[in-house]
Amino acid sequence: MTPSSRIWRYPGVQFTGAVAGLITALLTFDPMILNPRSVDWLVRDDLTQQYLGWIAFRSTPWQIPLGTIHGYADPPGTTLGFVDAFPWFSVLMRALLESVPSLEKWFGSTGQITSLWLVLSLMLQGFFAASIFSRLTPRNLPLIASGTISLIFAPVWWHRMNHGHPSLCGQWLILAALTLSLSSGEPDGPSRLRFRKIFFRLAKWCALQFVAAGIHPYLAAMTCAIGIAAVLERKMWLRSVVGAVAQVLTVFFVFWLFGYFSLNPTGANEGGGGFHYFGADLLSLINPMKMGGLLPSFFQGWTKAGQYEGYGWIGLGTIFLALFWFSGRRNHRNRRMEWVWSNQIRIVVLLLALFSLGSNIRIGGFWLIDLETPYQLIKPVVTSFRAAGRFIWPLYYLLAVQLFVHAGRVMQKRRIGVVPRIFFFSAVAAFNILDNPFLKFKSDVDGTDRHHVQVQTQNQMDRLSALTAMPAGVVNLAGISRMNLVPPYLASFSCGNLPAGNFDGKAFEEWRITGMWAAKNGLTANSGAFARYDTAVLNRTCEVQRNAVLAGNLDPKAVYVLSNATPDPVAFAAIESRATCAAGPGGIKFCRVDAD
Flag whether pLDDT at 119 surpasses 70: yes
Percentage of the chain with pLDDT > 90?
53
What span, in angstroms and rounded, lies between the C-alpha atoms of 359 and 355?
A: 8
- Residue 327 is predicted with a pLDDT of 76
Of residues 457 and 560, the one with the higher pLDDT is 560
| Element containing residue 227 per DSSP (H, E) | helix 217-231
Alpha carbon of 77 to those of 68, 111, 157, 260, 532: distances in Å? Answer: 8, 22, 30, 13, 11
Q: Which has more pLDDT, 139 or 383?
A: 139
The string of DSSP codes covering 364-433 is TTEEEEE-HHHHGGGHHHHHHT--GGGGGHHHHHHHHHHHHHHHHHHHHHTT--HHHHHHHHHHHHHHHH
Query: What radius of gyration, in Å, describes the C-alpha atoms of the chain?
Result: 26
With beta carbons less than 8 A apart as the criterion, state whether 532 and 77 touch: no
Residue 299 CA: distances (Å) to CA of 115, 260, 288, 386, 441: 34, 42, 8, 29, 19
* Residue 262, pLDDT score: 73
pLDDT mean over 538-554: 91
**What is the reported pLDDT for 560?**
96
Q: Express each pLDDT in 186-229 by its tens digit.
A: 555 556 667 788 889 999 999 999 999 999 999 999 999 999 99
Task: Please give the DSSP secondary-structure letter assigned to residue 494.
Answer: E
SS3 468: helix
- Residue 76, preceding bond cis, omega within 30 degrees? yes
Longest alpha-carbon distance in the chain: 90
**How far, in whole angstroms, is CA 55 from its chain's centroid?**
19
Cα–Cα distance, 349 to 182 (Å, whole number): 14
DSSP letter, residue 528: B
CA dist 301 and 429 (Å) reads 22
Decide if 215 contacts 86 (C-beta within 8 A). Answer: yes
pLDDT tens, position by position, 136-159: 998 899 999 999 999 999 999 999
For residue 2, is pLDDT > 60?
Answer: no
Residues 468-503: tens digit of each pLDDT: 888 777 888 889 999 999 999 988 788 876 555 566
At residue 46, φ and ψ (nearest 5 deg) are: -85, 0
* Poorest-pLDDT segment among 79-83, 176-180, 336-340, 547-551: 336-340
Judged against a pLDDT cut of 90, whether residue 62 lies above it is answered with: yes
pTM for this predicted structure: 0.92
* Listed residue (333, 342, 404) closest to 2, CA to CA: 342
DSSP β-bridge partners for residue 525: 483
H or E stretch covering 581:
strand 580-583
Using the predicted structure, report yes or no on whether residue 267 has a pLDDT greater than 70: no
Q: What is the pLDDT of residues 164-193, one digit of tens each?
A: 899 999 999 999 999 999 975 555 555 666
Task: Give the mean model confidence (pLDDT) for residues 349-371.
Answer: 89
pLDDT at residue 441 tops 50: no
**Most confident listed range (242-251, 356-365, 373-382, 491-500):** 242-251
Q: Are 406 and 137 in contact (CB under 8 A)?
A: no
Give yes or no for a contact between 355 and 391, defined as CB atoms under 8 angstroms apart. yes
pLDDT band at residue 448 using 50, 70 and 90 as cut-offs? very low
Range from 179-188, 243-252, 281-290, 336-345 carrying the lowest mean pLDDT: 179-188
pLDDT for the residue 333: 56
Report the chain's mean pLDDT, rounded to a whole number: 86
Q: Checking phi first, is residue 459 left (phi over 0); if not, alpha (psi -120 to 50) or beta? A: alpha
> Is the model's pLDDT at 91 over the cut of 50?
yes
Query: Which range among 140-144, 243-247, 257-261 shows the weakest confidence by mean pLDDT?
Result: 257-261
Give me the pLDDT at residue 444, please.
Answer: 38
pLDDT at 514: 94
3-state secondary structure 233-290: CCCCHHHHHHHHHHHHHHHHHHHHHCCCCCCCHHHCCCCCCCCCCCCCCCCHHHCCCC
The region of weakest confidence among 41-45, 299-303, 313-317 is: 299-303
Contact between 366 and 120 under an 8 Å Cβ cutoff? The reply is no
Helices assigned H by DSSP within 75-180 = 87-99, 101-107, 114-136, 141-152, 155-162, 172-180
The total of other beta-carbon atoms located within 10 Å of residue 331's CB is 11
As a 3-state breakdown, the chain gives helix, strand, coil percent values, each rounded to 5, of 60, 5, 35
Q: Is the dihedral of CA 123, 128, 129, 131 positive or negative?
A: positive
Say which DSSP state 331 is in.
S
pLDDT at residue 451, as a whole number: 46
- Who has greater pLDDT, 6 or 206? 206
Least confident of 7-16, 261-270, 290-299: 261-270
203: helix, strand or coil? helix
- pLDDT given at position 115: 94
Please answer whether residues 537 and 268 qualify as being in contact, where contact means their C-beta atoms are separated by less than 8 angstroms. no
- Could you tell me how far CA 370 lies from the centroid of its own chain? 28
Is residue 548's pLDDT more than 60? yes
How many CB atoms are closer than 10 A to CB 434?
16
Distance of CA 174 to the CA centre of its chain: 12
pLDDT at 422: 94
Amino acid occupying residue 503: F
Q: Is 253 left (phi over 0), alpha (psi -120 to 50) or beta?
A: alpha
410 close to 425: Cβ distance less than 8 angstroms: no
Percent of the chain past pLDDT 70, that is, above it, reads 86
According to the model, what pLDDT value does residue 446 have? 38
Q: For residues 342 and 402, give the distance between their C-alpha atoms in angstroms, rounded to a whole number.
A: 12
The pLDDT confidence band at residue 234, using thresholds 50, 70 and 90, is confident
